[in-house]
């Protein structure tokens, strides 16, 4: 609901823009998105530079602990993550039944993580100390790719591939999904995508996780809420839809008439535009460079179509700059790395599990519950009556 109607504001309430746009609700040490600059960072580092230069576990350590790990710290995190990637037996037994009820990976993930919370005895954040919270967060991030990979294979009628604790996180995820050990190029490309998407400011799902954390609920509840928010069509990444657009265009000569047709009928151009960025999405630019690592016609086609779409959109919508977002090249990179379109958005969750839990850990340190107000704009209520009296009801 818009907060710009003529209804007066009760004393003590402050009007804010619809959707809390650009409203600062708290302080964070985790990172920031500078939409006008086309830049975002994790703590004191450029997120894109991290994606180009470090692995998933190193960026994970940075968001959880505030600094890049030493060699010993990195070894310890990899050992812990590898051990925790193995599904608890009770959850492994339950997963086929969960998958039998739905073919949607996000529904499977949120149901499985809810069950994981009970199976592993997750306590309310309010009752847990910092070490216990951190252990819970580590376990949740570690088990997420195993759940998603197993669900994918069960949906295809295949046996799940058990986790290999000795492999790096991204490599093992790709192996568990495809059933074979990936080549280094494919594993590294997926890893770069994961690093670049593990956190991105106070988006809807991250804010949802923090609201739940502020109540003192357990970590599994925070993640289930975040995934519920992420599953909404207005929020969850749609790299598969962007790739479908490329498939629909088919040949370079069809790109311009296709985009003109989409704009004429008011359709959204999937993979273009962003709620925050007013210039090029740095994640898209980085993934374009990653995609060039393959000598594949799809890459040249995607680059050519991107240029055409941006040119036509600049002509048709001169007051609203629209550029390729992270979804556009994410679909290209994941397809070339061997992932099916049905696994594109789940792969996003493998990354974002780090950001969600890092935000939960930060929020859990704040004793204040998040409790905003709403402005009532319905029919006039009755006037207050003296204590001990009752307001008359309608006849």
Question: Which residues are catalytic, by number?
Answer: 274, 327
Q: Are 335 and 298 in contact (CB under 8 A)?
A: yes
Question: Which tokens in the block code for residue 306?
Answer: 């991107």
Distance of CA 95 to CAs 90, 112, 162, Å? Answer: 9, 7, 13
Q: Are 106 and 230 in contact (CB under 8 A)?
A: yes
Q: Which residues of 11-45 are buried (b: 16+ CB within 10 A; e: fewer)?
A: eeeeeeeeeeeeeeeeebebbbbebeebebbbbeb
What string of DSSP letters covers 100-165?
HH---HHHHHHHHHHHHHHHTTPPPGGGS-HHHHHHHHHHHHHHHHHHHHHHHHHHTT-PPPPP-T
What string of DSSP letters covers 299-330?
HHHHHHHHHHHHHHHHHH-TTS---B-HHHHH
What are the beta bridge partners of residue 31?
Answer: 42
240 Cα distance to chain centroid: 15
What string of DSSP letters covers 218-260?
-HHHHHHHHHHHHTSTTTS--HHHHHHHHHHH-SGGGHHHHHH
Distance CA 236, CA 240 (A): 11
Distance CA 77, CA 203 (A): 27
Would you call 363 helix, strand, or coil by DSSP?
helix
* Count of C-beta atoms within a 10 Å radius of residue 128: 18
Distance CA 148, CA 218 (A): 21
Distance CA 209, CA 224 (A): 8
What string of DSSP letters covers 325-362?
-HHHHHHHHHHHTT--GGGHHHHHHHHHHHHHHHHHHH
């Amino acid at each position: 609901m818009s907060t710009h109607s003529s209804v007066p504001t009760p004393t003590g309430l402050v009007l804010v823009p619809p959707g809390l746009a650009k409203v600062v609700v708290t302080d964070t040490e985790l990172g920031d998105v500078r939409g006008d600059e086309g830049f975002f960072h994790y703590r004191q580092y450029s997120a894109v530079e991290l994606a180009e230069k470090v692995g998933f576990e190193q960026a994970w350590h940075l968001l959880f602990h505030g600094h890049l790990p030493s060699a010993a710290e990195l070894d310890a995190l990899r050992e812990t993550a590898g051990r925790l990637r193995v599904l608890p037996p009770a959850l492994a037994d339950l997963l086929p039944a969960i998958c039998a009820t739905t073919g949607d990976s996000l529904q499977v993930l949120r149901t499985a993580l809810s069950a994981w919370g009970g199976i592993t005895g997750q306590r309310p954040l309010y009752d847990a100390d910092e070490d216990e919270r951190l252990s819970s967060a580590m376990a949740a991030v570690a088990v997420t790719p195993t759940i998603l990979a197993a669900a994918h294979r069960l949906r295809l009628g295949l046996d799940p591939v058990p986790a290999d604790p000795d492999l790096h996180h991204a490599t093992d995820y790709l192996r568990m999904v495809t059933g074979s050990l990936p080549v280094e190029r494919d594993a590294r490309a997926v890893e770069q995508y994961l690093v670049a998407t593990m956190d991105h400011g106070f988006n809807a799902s991250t804010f949802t996780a923090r609201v739940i954390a502020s109540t003192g609920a357990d970590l599994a509840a925070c993640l289930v809420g975040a995934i519920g928010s992420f599953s909404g069509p207005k929020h969850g990444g749609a790299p598969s839809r962007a790739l479908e657009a490329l498939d629909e265009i088919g040949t370079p000569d069809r790109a311009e008439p296709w985009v003109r047709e989409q704009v004429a009928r008011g359709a959204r151009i999937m993979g273009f535009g962003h709620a925050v960025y007013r210039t090029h999405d740095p994640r898209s630019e980085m993934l374009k460079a990653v995609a060039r690592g393959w000598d594949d016609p799809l890459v040249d086609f995607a680059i050519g179509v991107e240029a055409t779409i941006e040119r036509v959109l600049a002509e048709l919508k001169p007051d609203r700059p629209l550029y390729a977002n992270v979804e556009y090249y994410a679909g290209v990179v994941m397809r070339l790395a061997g992932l099916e379109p049905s696994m594109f958005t789940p792969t996003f969750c493998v990354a974002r599990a780090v950001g969600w839990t890092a935000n939960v850990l930060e929020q859990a340190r704040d004793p204040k519950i998040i409790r905003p107000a709403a402005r009532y704009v319905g029919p006039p209520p009755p006037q207050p009556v003296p204590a001990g009296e009752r307001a008359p009801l309608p006849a």
